[in-house]
Amino acid sequence: MAKSRNKNRYQFYIATIDTEIRQRKKLEMDLHMALEQSELSLRFQPQVNLNSSRIIGVETLLRWNHPDKGNISPDTFIPIAENSLDIIPIGDWVLESACSYLSAWRQSGFDDLRMAVNLSAVQLQDKSIVERVEGLLSKYQIPADKLELEVTETSIMEDIEVSCAQLNRLKEVGVILALDDFGTGYSSLSYLKRFPFDKIKIDKSFVDGLPDSKENTVIVEAIIQLGKSFGLEVIAEGVETMAQEKHLRHAGCLEGQGYFYGKPVLDDEFLDVLKNWDRDQ
């Protein structure tokens, strides 16, 4: 009796794994076609200076509208694209599209704006990324310090030596390098010293608890001080309330990004945001 129950459980378990593998494989195949089927698109979210309330930058965020499943989160499909290496053509498309939009916005008079693009570990390890970035800057006539590349601690951990060398090459090109989701990986402190970062992004999970959580308050204040000591720009991610903004500003954080300032929107909506921003403040 017990034996047959265990056998049933085992078969159920295998069937579940089998279904999961199939589903992932299917998603991987669908994703492979997504770029040419025009299912991928970009959204843009403002980054704001907390003292002047001006928009200083914008982060590009990728979206996948699956024909049957609707919107799938990048947290789900980016790892699949990394695994299949489709992140290389997809990431190239994101980079080029972002540069093209930035170039158009610069021509509309927003020439101080900085464009931030997320770079996956796989793209960072790819030796040709540096030439690609240089090529895009020259094609779209974008000053290097108007392009920011965001990498996560986890992604530089994949191969520390190669990541460090690649980041140094990108730094020589003059682009801004940001460490995304700061505080969620490990050994953060040693990386700050070792890698040529210009900026750290305080992860949303720490900003969430402000100002009520004592722990998060202490962590956020420590990160801001740390950034200052290392001469790094510090931006808080996931700012949703005025209370959070106030707290961050008092703690000496100069920049913020989050729904409080604006959700990620389509390019033409973002241009409207840029045009109306100062008037609305």
> Given the rule CB under 5 A, which residues bind Mg ion?
118, 150, 180-181, 237
Smallest separation, CB 167 to Mg ion (Å): 16
User: Which among ligand C2E, Mg ion, none contacts residue 62 (Cβ within 5 to 8 A by kind)?
Assistant: ligand C2E
CA 201 to chain centre: 10
- DSSP secondary structure of 65-117: EETTTEEE-HHHHHHHHHHHTTHHHHHHHHHHHHHHHHHHHHHTT-TT-EEEE
Smallest separation, CB 237 to ligand C2E (Å): 6
- In angstroms, the CA 233 to CA 109 distance is 25
CA 192 to chain centre: 18
Q: Which of residues 247-276 bind ligand C2E (CB under 6 A)?
A: 258-259, 264
Indicate the residue among 32 and 157 with the shorter CB distance to Mg ion.
Answer: 157
Binding letters toward ligand C2E, positions 36-65, x by CB under 6 A: ---------x---------------xx---
Indicate the residue among 14 and 85 with the shorter CB distance to ligand C2E.
Answer: 85
CA distances from 60 to 26, 141, 210, 217 (A): 27, 19, 26, 28
Count Cα neighbours of 141 within 13 Å in the Cβ-side half-sphere. 6
Pull the structure tokens for residue 200.
Answer: 């750290």
Left if phi > 0, otherwise alpha if psi is -120 to 50, otherwise beta: which for 205? alpha
Is 202 a binder of ligand C2E (CB under 6 A)? no
Stretch that binds ligand C2E, among 7-15, 50-58, 190-198, 236-244 (CB under 6 A): 236-244
Indicate the residue among 126 and 150 with the shorter CB distance to ligand C2E.
Answer: 150
Binding site for ligand C2E (CB under 6 A): 45, 61-62, 73-75, 78, 91, 94, 118, 120, 150, 180-181, 204, 237-238, 240, 258-259, 264
